Amino acid sequence: MKKVQIKTVKGFNEVLPPESFRWRQVEDKFRNLLEGYGFAELRLALLEPTELFARSIGGETDIVEKEMYTFIDRSERSLTLRPEGTASVVRAYNQYSLGKSNEINKLYYIGPMFRYERPQKGRYRQFHQLGAEVFGEESFYQDAETLVMLAQLFHTLSIKGVELHLNSLGCEACRPLFRDQLKDYLSRHQAGLCDDCRRRGAENPLRALDCKNPQCREAVAEAPSIGDALCCDCRQHFAGLCALLADAGIAFQINPRLVRGLDYYTRTTFEFLAGDLGAQNAVAAGGRYDRLVEELGGQPTPAFGFAVGFERLMMLVGSEVAPLTLPVAALLPLSEEALRRLFPLHVELNRRAQMTTLSFQHKSLKSQLKKADKDGVRYALIVGPDELAQDEALCRNMRTKEQTKLPFAEIGEFLWERYHEH
């Protein structure tokens, strides 16, 4: 080990080849799918005024209370590395008045998010999300379309065994009533609750439903169910969504305990759960947030969105990689003169496509062939003094070992044809 190696910060993991190829393949599939549904990409700032997240995610949530990378910059402003994407998208939607032009109401993003938590399997301090938001559509058809699209994403990636869990949290008309009911229930059952849930009772009672403490689960088992408390409109919205999903052949479970960790959700919330994610189980989650745009200073605008945890998604994607494109041939110069002759050819060929490799060092033919073999090229073009004198290369087929003479003038065409064969 060297002295004082500088290393990455804890929880900030970097993606090296060949993993980076797999990442891009999955990203590409996501982009293609989303753009097929009319989504357009947004590339947003990673750093935002702290206030944005405090207002959107909710001041009482764990994310805001203890998980944000927040610091004061040189002009004394409090800034935060974004812990999630939706707040920024909504901020941008308002800031640039994206709602004024109808065609741009479906937006997606891919990028890093930051949360100051202890890293573990499937959870990192810098992690990545693929997310999308739809603005201006209140219909449950929108909820259904988005969920069907997500199911397609998993299907496209050959991921099996993800379960869709659904719930409705109601709207501003019925949720406060339910909150009161629940608060009331919790205060009557304080004895059975953990410390956290007792504290939550007042500010964020819904979270108690979601507590993993077995004691709490028991205490909450008889609590009022949100499903019973929904108003007429919310009930219809949710029923409509469920019917569409059933018609589309998408399996789902209604989970009245499903409460999101962020405060802005209304009506539909969902999670796609999977095993094989370590102690984590959510690979994607989201829902409807009909009030947030307005709360962040925009026009009243219903919205629906989701985020996929990219690292978690990658854990579910099999390790099989689409074969990488390999160079067609290795150029093997056996002298300085040969190298000088081959270099312009090499540069010219690779301008069009990945065609050749070329060693700039004087190595033995043997070691160059070894390298060519390892690189998986189909041909080796050997050029030594003899070939140079004849203005040709010795073309060796690496599989059949057959060798033929190939004039320099024909190399380009020869390789270009072989390039398209594979």
Partner RNA sequence: GUGGGUGUAGCUCAGUUGGUUAGAGCGCAGGAUUGUGGCUCCUGAGGUCGAGGGUUCGACCCCCUCUACUCACCCCA
210-249 residues near RNA, rule: CB under 7 A? 210-213
The stretch near RNA (CB under 7 A) out of 157-165, 238-246, 321-329, 393-401 is: 393-401
Would you give the binding string for RNA spanning residues 328-367, x where CB under 7 A is met?
------x----------------------------xxxxx
55, 257 contact by CB (below 8 A)? no
400-419 residues near RNA, rule: CB under 7 A? 401, 403
Q: Which of 261, 294, 350, 416 binds RNA (CB under 7 A)?
A: 261
Number of residues that bind RNA (CB under 7 A): 69
The stretch near RNA (CB under 7 A) out of 151-159, 169-177, 257-265, 349-357 is: 257-265
420 binds RNA (CB under 7 A): no
Would you give the binding string for RNA spanning residues 141-180, x where CB under 7 A is met?
----------------------------------------
Task: Specify the residue, 325 or 403, whose C-beta has the smaller distance to RNA.
Answer: 403
Task: Specify the residue, 196 or 294, whose C-beta has the smaller distance to RNA.
Answer: 196
What is the Cα Rg of the chain in Å? 29
178-207 residues near RNA, rule: CB under 7 A? 196, 207
- Nearest Cα to Cα of residue 18 among 325, 371, 358: 325
To RNA, the closest distance from the beta carbon of 239 in angstroms equals: 25
Phi, psi of 268 (to 5 degrees): -65, 130
Q: Which residues contact 103 (CB under 8 A, 6 or more apart)?
A: none
Q: Which of 55, 82, 91, 115 binds RNA (CB under 7 A)?
A: 115
- Residue linked to tokens 């064969």: 421
Task: Specify the residue, 11 or 240, whose C-beta has the smaller distance to RNA.
Answer: 11
369 binds RNA (CB under 7 A): yes
267-306 residues near RNA, rule: CB under 7 A? 271, 278-285
Distance CA 289, CA 191 (A): 34
68, 59 contact by CB (below 8 A)? no
Q: Which of 170, 201, 309, 333 binds RNA (CB under 7 A)?
A: 309
Task: Specify the residue, 144 or 383, whose C-beta has the smaller distance to RNA.
Answer: 383
- Nearest Cα to Cα of residue 380 among 361, 399, 364: 399
To RNA, the closest distance from the beta carbon of 393 in angstroms equals: 9
To RNA, the closest distance from the beta carbon of 101 in angstroms equals: 29
Task: Specify the residue, 7 or 188, whose C-beta has the smaller distance to RNA.
Answer: 7
Q: For residue 217, with 0-12 CB atoms within 10 Å meaning exposed, 13-18 middle and 19 or more buried, which class applies?
A: middle
13-42 residues near RNA, rule: CB under 7 A? 13
Q: Which of 82, 91, 165, 260 binds RNA (CB under 7 A)?
A: 260
371 binds RNA (CB under 7 A): yes
To RNA, the closest distance from the beta carbon of 318 in angstroms equals: 18
Would you give the binding string for RNA spanning residues 55-74, x where CB under 7 A is met?
------xxx---x-------
Q: Which of 100, 374, 420, 422 binds RNA (CB under 7 A)?
A: 374
Distance of CA 204 to the CA centre of its chain: 29
Q: Which of 48, 133, 145, 311 binds RNA (CB under 7 A)?
A: 311
| Token duo for residue 232 | 């007429």
Angle formed at CA 55 by CA 224 and CA 110, multiple of 5 degrees: 95
Distance CA 36, CA 82 (A): 27
Q: Which of 48, 107, 122, 223 binds RNA (CB under 7 A)?
A: 122
To RNA, the closest distance from the beta carbon of 305 in angstroms equals: 10
Phi, psi of 127 (to 5 degrees): -130, 175
117 binds RNA (CB under 7 A): yes
Distance of CA 275 to the CA centre of its chain: 18
Binding stretches for RNA (CB under 7 A): 1, 3, 7-8, 10-11, 13, 61-63, 67, 84, 115, 117-124, 127, 129, 196, 207, 210-213, 260-262, 271, 278-285, 307-309, 311-312, 334, 363-367, 369-374, 382, 384-387, 394, 396, 398-399, 401, 403
